[in-house]
Structure 1
């Protein structure tokens, strides 16, 4: 049996140094401003994204990679005799998974396996790292997929959106909701449940209060954490991310707490200063 190549897409938001160290394949999604289309993380980074939003007054549209994109990405490794395991952005949020399945059909049976993370951002990244470590231990693709089926429902993804502006610009809330939210300093908290972005509750008041609540929510699950990786993922909120990282390092037994930057696709939907804590619970 050949070696296993783990793939994800650009929405996994893993640190670039991890992608390089563990040789994780990345297939970028697309962001489009008017007639100009960019590959997430390749042609456009998050600070550049926000500059373009300021210039145009609206966030970009986002799009999944095509089946041809996946075929192009997978082919060199298949030709080397490697098996591909691609862990995708949630099917509830994108056609990325379906397009990867179409691509997989162009290769010999069993050569390319596609797994739906039912998550986003480092909620995908957590599953990718589980797969990477399992592969390094010599597990087969079917064994890794079996593991991922157990890990997937244990991933906790919760983040605070700093402003309703991007939800409004993206058509996800009304102008009145945006106005009232801004006046009352309301920050929605989003959780990923069954692959969907689900409003969990709203925090009214200062950003500090919102961050304290985010941290408190994570720490309330301390006995259930698997003590492996905790991600603090953010969109241009590095100072707050470092603060949360230090608090989690002090109050959990996690092997590692890592800050990571949200890419262009995630940032397009959530906006600047969005920040989340993501981790996995123990497998029962």
Structure 2
């Protein structure tokens, strides 16, 4: 049997793991001086209560590797194989740590998603279609698909891009004065600002058209995503061509691994598109 593992950077909640047939390794993060295991010590609502209520900037850290080994060996000790899909190595050291941890275990394959949150969900859904195949064949399928996964979003404020080192103080100041909304992407090249628009309306228009511009593949669903408040996402969907609505999964309230980069009230789409765009 092949068991799929993800880390909590997938934004797959503990309450979903049975439905999706996965095991979830919690990432850890710091809020102030306190360390939490994602969706274990605090659920997503508890995280935002502290994040916003106390105005603390979260810092993510590696998962508990001893716990990871124990979880995985519950399966490999029975002769099962484990397919571990991790948050992108471009924003976390989780992949490299797990790759090293399991390098001598012939029953474990660790896959760098080069994505996060809904992008990992798309890889899980794809892997489930192929569970009857050899594990290395599944890895090859995922390695090809992950190059086409697009994460495009609009943060409500530039503050978290400044704190995370994605903007200089000069860019932050000019952008704040002009009410510039950056368009953020996460793909195989990492997190980057792919465009900038003046005002929310123009920024929403860019994301609404991104599905067409980036070659949306109708064989895969769209994961509408947001941090904390769903209102902006609902507005985005309302200005998106209705022909795409039938492909949309349930809205995903993103976990701390992404919220610390984008801040609360960010919103956007995650989907499979053309590898050569973005």
Common fold: TM-score over 0.5? yes
The answer on whether the counterparts of 1:10 and 1:263 sit within 8 Å (CA) in structure 2 is yes
Aligned to 1:102: 100
After TM superposition, list the pairs within 5 Å mapping 1:19-98 onto structure 2: 19-54=17-52, 56-98=54-96
Note the alpha carbon deviations across 1:95-145, whole angstroms, 9 max, x for none: 1011111221353x2x1110111112212221121112221xx12211211
- SS, match of residue 201 in structure 1: strand
C-alpha distance 173-281 of structure 1, shift in aligned 2 (>3 A): closer
Deviates more, 1:249-258 or 1:264-273: 249-258
Find the aligned partners of 2:135 and 2:94 in 1 and give their Cα distance. 20
State the shift of 1:246 in Å: 6.2
- SS, match of residue 229 in structure 1: coil
CA RMSD of aligned residues (A): 2.5
Of 107, 123, 127, which aligns to 2:123? 127
The answer on whether the counterparts of 1:46 and 1:235 sit within 8 Å (CA) in structure 2 is no
Aligned to 1:159: 153
Tell me the TM-score normalised to structure 2 length. 0.88
Tell me the TM-score normalised to structure 1 length. 0.87
Aligned to 1:181: 175
State the shift of 1:85 in Å: 0.2
Of 206, 216, 221, which aligns to 2:209? 216
Structure 2: runs of 5 or more not aligned: none
After TM superposition, list the pairs within 5 Å mapping 1:109-258 onto structure 2: 109=106, 111-135=107-131, 138-205=132-199, 207-221=200-214, 224-245=216-237, 250-252=242-244, 255-258=247-250
Structure 1: runs of 5 or more not aligned: none
State the shift of 1:86 in Å: 0.4
C-alpha distance 121-22 of structure 1, shift in aligned 2 (>3 A): closer
The answer on whether the counterparts of 1:70 and 1:103 sit within 8 Å (CA) in structure 2 is no
